[in-house]
Amino acid sequence: MKIVKALLAAGAILALTLLPTRAVTPDDTLVMASQIDDVITLDPAEVFEFSAAEMVGNSYERLIGYDLDDVSDIFGVVAESWEVSEDGKTLTFTVRQGKTFASGNELTAEDVVFSLQRALKLDLSPAFILTQFGFTADNVEEKIVQTGDYEFTFEMDQAYAPTFVLYCLTSTVASVVDKDLVLEHEVDGDLGHEWLKRNHAGSGPFAIRQWRPNEAVVMERNEHYEPEVPLARVIYQHVPESSTQRLMLEQGDIDIARDLGPEELQALEQLDGIKIQSGVKGGLYYLGLNQKNEYLSKPEVRQALKYLVDYDAIADTIMEGLAEVHQSFLPTGLLGSVEDTPFSLDVERAKELLAEAGLAEGFSITMDTRNTSDITGMGEAIQQTFAQAGIDLQLIPGDGAQTLTKYRAREHDIYIGRWGPDYQDPHTNADTFAANPDNSDDAAAKPLAWRNAWDIPELTKKTQSAILETNTEERARVYEGLQREVMDRGPFVIMFQEIEVMAMQDNVNNFIIGPSFDSNEFGEASKD
């Protein structure tokens, strides 16, 4: 009996600790559950990860911005105006007056010039977006020069298409950092890099106050930002599991759940007080067909495989609102994007093409498949449709880093991947899908065309000439031509464009899901 009593007592103690804790987030605080373990740095000169890019996008400003509903509409943010020189090689920017960093320091041309020079001198992963214009760590001090308190010049090595230059300046690497604040924390000439990895020195609507890796990122209103920011605080809480995110949203512990699967979204859609918001992003899902493989190097086989994917069924049943069919390498919204979808599941046509290639009996091949539910689901669906034409597709599941390592070494047969633009200009994708300057194993540049061993000297020239086309309409036509060529004979089965979907409390207003991963904006968001 003593035991039973002891057990009862223990139970009672335990029960006492179970307190009702139905929480509501404060009115001036937006709490998001999100998978933020991809954040490895917060320095805009280094940031290239989805979550960190969004944080930088909302806490720093760039020279140029674009309309989130119509990417073709470019306007100045930190830049008030700009002029292009007669030879087309130099841009002179006038910096907008009256902008203030979160530190209280005024933003001037000195900060802008420092920021661009800093990104080039540090030469970290995203710096290539700026080196495309002929800048190097050594020449940048002569090429990007302050000419007044609110004026500076930007001298390139060639007369690049102005749209190309301006779109590159909308990317996070071109964010303006607070020179005085950053240099206060400089150690051994690192331009404040070690410090800025974990801190903030921007002029955007929010200031990043705290980053606790794998736990949370806390952002607070920049009191100097104009117009006034409605929310006092935005918190990203790291919640790796999507089912957990759903429960927390239902309970009111968070305002927005960021990483929900189709099932969770369907369930939440039915609930009162919760709304679903979505936006088309630039990410593309595609199959990369390695041209080192004897079967895949045949043009008929590449064509046949494009007829062996049930695009609509995958979009409707596996992705369920998280992707739409898209078959060209430029996502909808980018200059010159081709919207045609010439391929659909056509097993008979695929069989004819395979017969033309002398493979009427089919063949066996492998596909490296990342072990996330979306990619695995797609892989299994493709396996079934390939089998209808006699192709035995073996899926090799693997972790993200593992499959990517193999892909980058060109050791795959087929790789099922996802590619997002680095900036909002068409060159970002053309340069990877339709250019391969050197197909040798030790090539310096290794774009997607190289990873799939697609040797295309002519197409590479066309791609490289498109960035010098100053007439925007003509430029768009060049990209249309490139997309159709890749669609027709390229080693890429481009299938879907990604849609970002989030579920939120219906009192959250003005949260904007932009077209790129750094353009989800909450500077005007509020709760009522």
Partner 1 sequence: MSSVNSGYEGGGRTRALFSGLGAIGRVLSMVAITILGLLAVTFFISRVVPIDPVLAVVGDRAPPHVYERVREEMGLHLPVWQQFAIYVTNVLSGDLGTSVLTSRPVAQDIARYFPATLELATLGTLIGTVLGVPLGVLAAVRRGHFIDHLVRVVGLVGYSAPIFWLGLLGLLVFYANLGWVGGPGRLDISYEYMLTPVTGMVLVDAALTGDWAVFRNAISHIVLPASLLGYFSLAYISRMTRSFMLNELSQEYIITARVKGVSEQRIIWGHALRNALVPLITVIALSYAHLLEGSVLTETVFAWPGLGRYITNSLQNADMSAVLGGTLVIGVVFVAINILSDLLYRLFDPRTR
* Binding interface with partner 1 (CB under 8 A): 2-3, 6-7, 10, 14, 17-23, 25-26, 29, 31, 33, 37, 40-41, 48-49, 123-128, 131, 197-198, 212-216, 218, 235, 237-241, 243-244, 247-248, 250-251, 253, 399-402, 404-406, 408, 422, 444-446
Nearer to partner 1, 49 or 111 (CB): 49
The distance of closest approach from Cβ of residue 267 to partner 1 in the complex, given in angstroms and rounded to an integer, is 12
Which of these, 284, 231, 335, lies nearest to 497 by C-alpha position?
Answer: 284
Q: Please, what is the minimum distance in Å from the beta carbon of residue 469 to partner 1?
A: 24
Q: How many helices (H) and strands (E) does the chain have?
A: 19, 19
DSSP string covering 448-497? HHHHTT---HHHHHHHHHHTT---HHHHHHHHHHHHHHHHHHSSEEEEEE
Alpha carbons 22 and 44: distance in angstroms, whole number = 38
For residue 277, list its beta bridge partners: 502
Distance (Å, rounded) from C-alpha 324 to C-alpha 497? 5
Q: Output the smallest distance, CB 494 to partner 1, in A.
A: 18
Question: Quick one: DSSP state of residue 139?
Answer: T
- Beta bridge partners of residue 415, listed in sequence order: 288, 368
Closer by beta carbon to partner 1, 398 or else 481: 398
Sequence-ordered list of residues with C-beta below 8 angstroms from that of 522, at least 6 positions apart, any chain:
30, 58, 205, 206, 231, 234, 510, 511, 512
* Both structure tokens of 316: 């409707």
The smaller minimum CB distance to partner 1, of residues 107 and 504, is found at 504
Beta carbon nearer to partner 1, 136 or 472: 136
Task: Give the nearer residue to partner 1 in terms of CB position, either 111 or 431.
Answer: 431
Please tell me the total number of residues recorded for the chain in this structure: 528
Asked whether the beta carbons of 414 and 453 are under 8 A apart, the reply is: no
Would you say 97 or 244 has its CB closer to partner 1?
244
Distance (Å, whole) CA 107 – CA 202: 9
Angle between helices 262-269 and 242-251 (to 10 degrees): 20
Residues facing residue 320 across a β-bridge: none
CB of 119 to partner 1, least distance (A): 12
What is the closest distance, in whole angstroms, from the C-beta atom of residue 414 to partner 1 in the complex? 18
| Gap between the Cα atoms of 496 and 493, Å rounded | 10
CA distance linking residue 250 with residue 256, whole number of Å: 10
Q: Smallest distance, Å, CB 94 to partner 1?
A: 31
The DSSP letter of residue 21 is -
Pairing of strands 492-505, 256-257: antiparallel
CB of 221 to partner 1, least distance (A): 16
Shortest reach from residue 399's CB to partner 1, in Å: 5
CA angle 131, 137, 140 (to 5 degrees): 80
Nearest distance from residue 175's CB to partner 1, in Å? 17
Q: In 47-87, at which residue ranges do the beta strands (DSSP E only) sit?
A: 64-66, 74-76, 79-84
Lookup result for tokens 């994708």 = 429
Shortest distance in whole angstroms from residue 416 CB to partner 1: 15
Q: How near is the Cβ of 98 to partner 1 at its closest, in Å?
A: 32
| Cα 475 to chain centroid, rounded | 24
Based on CB atoms, which residue is closest to partner 1, 65 or 126? 126
Q: Which of 128, 69, 104 is nearest to 180 (CA)?
A: 104
CB of 473 to partner 1, least distance (A): 29
Pick 147 or 243: Cβ nearer partner 1 = 243
Provide the 10 A C-beta neighbour count for residue 90.
16
CA terminus-to-terminus distance, the chain = 56
Please, what is the minimum distance in Å from the beta carbon of residue 405 to partner 1?
Answer: 4
The CA distance from 424 to 433, in Å, is: 15
Strand-pair category, 508-509 with 414-419: unpaired
Closer Cβ to partner 1, 37 or 392, answer by number: 37
Q: Which is nearer to partner 1, 10 or 468 (CB)?
A: 10
Output 96 or 406, the one with its CB closest to partner 1: 406
Half-sphere exposure in the Cβ direction for 478 (13 Å, CA): 22
